[in-house]
Structure 1
């Protein structure tokens, strides 16, 4: 593959202009603004400037800076892990499930442990879906069971056993202090302990989820932002077919 060197783009090609934002644990004043600028310098940005600063109260302040990055990268050297499957539309997914499974695919989904955010799991599971993409509840060949948020991993596994689930779909939105890694590892470990890992297709989605991370944590696939029900459903039926052929 030919080399493909790129730099950030702002006003002109290869000018390296970037925008950076962060919070500092100090009150806003001229000293903190200069501290923010010098932090950007230490990060390697040339000519950084604080273009916005805001007092957040209780000894915290927020900053937006512009600067210029000297770094560039060759895209031709990058390989990104991603699940290999054909994304079908809703009708295509329903037809393939009906043809190959001869019954409804059972998907149990939840946002696990202390995570109370349902936006991710609802976008994939609920009838209305998200951004014009209908959720799995609207697929007539899928039985979608959305358990909601703050679901204990043991409770999720027990429900999957009860429903004879083909797929467990997990959403993790809260990622502070990498709590999502602990939660996801715990669920995978429980499935292994129950002897269910090879039988159930395990999928995770969230804002800081990649396919590579999901595989490292013992999952079959990971879906990040801009993923929809048809992505998850297409992967699930293709993975089910692959396992039956093995």
Structure 2
């Protein structure tokens, strides 16, 4: 299916884009914003909003038409290859496949102090109307919190005999989330034999879900992930390893 962006009328190609330039807010800055939009392929670009961010930066919103088409047949996505289970079904599968509670260790690693993501998945209050993994009777959840070093995470996983390790990364400046994940993956592969290594899962808003193999983890979850998504994957993957 071929589609084009929609703004005022179907297929008109109108797009709204926001960005910041390291320029004080003046006519020159607005002209620079228009020039950038034109170089990006915008036709009839307009600056519809400009706001100074201190003395040296300006935030812009531009609006204009693009001629690009999108072919949905060529879109690549990571499809869920496991069934989405209810908490009761997760508990039943863990009990039947492991015959004990599944141990899940979670943390934000490196200097990342943003625990909103990991708490949304692990804490009993959960996210998007779903209870977190602490709610699942057959899961033992160990939440290490924020700014956890990779060695400490490995040590905790070994001490708890973790079946799975969940890592949240929100801070992405200079690709910190990628570097931290690669470091974490390498540390676990060095510390554990492959058959004994916990399932490694990372999540965050800036990850490419296709990059799991490149980063050395078993799964990447992006925006909008719910506790049920994660729990269902863990049951699917850990049960497969156990068998």
TM-score, structure 1 length as denominator?
0.95
Q: Which residue of 1 aligns with 2:39?
A: 42
Q: CA–CA distance in 2 between the matches of 1:102 and 1:153? A: 30
Q: Which residue of 1 aligns with 2:138?
A: 141
Q: Is the counterpart of residue 70 in structure 1 residue 67 in structure 2?
A: yes
Runs (4+) of structure 1 moved beyond 4 Å? none
Aligned residues: 242
| Structure 1 residues 198 and 184: CA distance shift in structure 2, 3 A | farther
Q: Which residue of 1 aligns with 2:171?
A: 174
Q: Is the counterpart of residue 226 in structure 1 residue 221 in structure 2?
A: no
Q: Secondary structure at the match of 2:53?
A: strand
Matches within 5 A, 1:75-94: 75-94=72-91
Q: CA–CA distance in 2 between the matches of 1:136 and 1:229? A: 6
For the Cα contact (< 8 Å) 2:97–2:242, is it kept in 1? no
Q: Which residue of 1 aligns with 2:183?
A: 186
1:104 to 101, 106, 119: 101
Cα deviation code 1:133-192 (max 9, x no counterpart):
111111111001110110001101100000000000000001111111110000001011
Q: Which residue of 2 aligns with 1:60?
A: 57
For the Cα contact (< 8 Å) 2:98–2:242, is it kept in 1? no
| Structure 1 residues 197 and 56: CA distance shift in structure 2, 3 A | farther
Structure 1 window deviating more from structure 2 (72-81 vs 212-221): it is: 72-81
Q: Is the counterpart of residue 7 in structure 1 residue 21 in structure 2?
A: no
For the Cα contact (< 8 Å) 1:191–1:197, is it kept in 2? no
Q: Which residue of 2 aligns with 1:240?
A: 238
TM-score, structure 2 length as denominator?
0.96
RMSD: 1.2
The gaps in structure 2 that reach 5 residues or longer are none
TM-superposed CA distance for 1:18, in Å, is 0.7
For the Cα contact (< 8 Å) 1:82–1:212, is it kept in 2? no
For the Cα contact (< 8 Å) 2:22–2:58, is it kept in 1? yes
Q: Is the counterpart of residue 22 in structure 1 residue 19 in structure 2?
A: yes
